[in-house]
Every structure is written in structure tokens, then in C-alpha cells.
Amino acid sequence: MLGPRVWSSVRQGLSRGLFRTVGAWASGEGKKVDIAGIYPPVTTPFTATAEVDYEKLEENLHKLGTFPFRGFVVQGSNGEFPFLTSSERLEVVSRVRQAMPKDKLLLAGSGCESTQATVEMTVSMAQVGADAAMVVTPCYYSGRMSSAALIHHYTKVADLSPIPVVLYSVPANTGLDLPVDAVVTLSQHPNIVGIKDSGGDVTRIGLIVHKTRRQDFQVLAGSAGFLLAGYAVGAVGGVCALANVLGAQVCQLERLCLTGQWEDAQKLQHRLIEPNTATKQLGLPLGKRGCLRPS
């Protein structure tokens, strides 16, 4: 069960955050928050003594703020959230919120292995400034993560979250794809607004778009490597690690797709595939605590 302090936070969040979102839908606006656009998944820099380097984090945010991104993702895989303490995760979100332009969306990764911990982290991240929670699939007991179990998990989180929830499927790291049937069911929840799909299966992305077309639900491609293909089958944007280093080019690819300049978009996509592959090979987390850091 959730502790008294968490329930108090949930009640406060429901009176504030959900009034802004769910309350607006109930009043007849009928729209969830729009997450369409390009987001760089912000890295977490560390000092030589393996502490979070907040000064460098803010410096990076100021540089990224010069590009026409829709917003920023923090505490995704690029943010190395498994290597951070709970207080560090919240402090990073707070610092990013303070440093980033006010008109940008902040999507914060709040996923934990248990439903209770995820609810607590989501509520806390809302309190420090997150606009939406990006919730990765719990995966330690992957063999038990059936569609029913995942639907139950995400429904409970979305019910108690004071901010909108974005599903996050990243099988390369979790070994678990969020099943399409679960995504379709969850897309009907009023506080679940979309999914970041990092699996790279464009057929799956297209199927999710097709099967959720009657819902107010959006799909973000999880890599610049298949961003054009994602747009072609109905994705509305992407969370792209490459945007941290080639922000202008990734945003240009977005513009070309949105304006139907598919031939130019294809040429640019081809040019971005190699550097995107390099970010995957060279940008792997080295491990804050040193367990994977080369000697």
C-alpha cells in the first residue's frame, strides 16, 4: 500500500495537475496534451568522482535550447537513470526544468520495477516540474510481464499520476516489447497520451498507429535511424539521441516529413543513419558507479 505521505502527494497532484489536464478534457476540450515533435533524450554528465555534474547538465541544456525542439526527455536510457539514486533522479529533473525554456515540454522517465515505486516517483517528478511521465516497462520478472500484468501496472500509474503518462517500450534494454494489444487497451485511458517506441520495428509502429486511430493517442519513434519511416506510417515525432549532437539536422528531417518533401527527407535520412549508428555504439552508458567503466 502507498504510505500516507505519498497519498497526500497524490491528492495534491490530483487537485492541481489533473485539473489542468483531465479537467480540461471533461470541460469539453476533449484533447490530451499534444506531444508531437522532436525531443533529445538528455544525457546525465558526471564528474571525475562519479557525481552528477549539474553545471555541465545546465550548460548542455542551454546549448540544446537553441534548437526548435518540442521539449526534452530526461531520465530515459540516455540519462542513465538506473545508475542514479531517487534523490538524484528528482534533482536532475528539477535542474532541467529550471534551465530549459518555459515553452518546452519536459518528459521525465519515472519508471521503476514496482507499481508503487513508479507511482511515488511519478508524483515526485510532477512536483519538481515534469510535464509528463515517460514510464518504461518493468522488466526484472520479464517472464511474468504478460499483457494483463502490464495493463494493470500502467493503469494504476495513470490513475494516480498528476501528469499525463507516455508509455515507453525499449526492448534492447529491457528485453521486453510492450505488446500491441496492451498498447491498444491503454490508449483508451484518459491520462495516457502516447508511446515512445524504441524497438525499430516500423510495421509495429504502423500497426499501433492504425489500431489506436480512434483514440487521442500519439506515437513517437525512439531513434533518428527510423524517424522518416516512423513519420511515413503515422508517428508524430521522435525521441532521438542523435538530436543531442545533430539537432538542426534532425529538426530539418522533421520539417521535410511534415511538409511532404519526401525525396529530400529520404536523402537526409540516409545521411543520418551512419552518425546515428555511431551514437549507439559510442554512446552506451559507462556506468556512474564504475561497474562498466574501463580502467
Rounded (10°) CA dihedral 189, 196, 138, 5? -60
- From 39, 54, 154, 168, the catalytic residue: 168
Binding site, annotated residues for pyruvate? 239
Reduce the DSSP state of residue 118 to 3 states and report it: helix
196 DSSP β-pair partners: 168, 220
- Asked if residues 207 and 236 have their Cβ atoms less than 8 Å apart, the reply is no
- Enumerate the known binding-site residues: 239
Q: Which of 54, 104, 154, 196 is catalytic?
A: 196
Q: Taking the C-alpha atoms of 236, 238, 244 and 248 in order, what is their torsion angle to the nearest 10 degrees?
A: -40
Q: Can you tell me the distance from the alpha carbon of 10 to that of 138, in angstroms, rounded to the nearest whole number?
A: 21
Three-point CA angle 187, 192, 193, nearest 5°: 85
Cα–Cα nearest to 272, from 257, 291, 290, 252: 252
Q: State the virtual CA torsion across 150, 174, 41, 106 in degrees, nearest 10.
A: 20
Q: Are 39 and 238 in contact (CB under 8 A)?
A: yes
Does residue 196 have an active-site annotation? Answer: yes
Strand, coil or helix: 106: strand
The DSSP-derived string for 213-250 is: TTSS-EEEES-GGGHHHHHHTT--EEE-GGGGT-HHHH
d(CA 250, CA 264): 13
Q: What is the DSSP string of 7-51?
A: HHHHHHHHHHHHHHTHHHIIIII--PPP--EEE-B----B-TTS-
Give catalytic residues, as residue numbers.
Answer: 168, 196
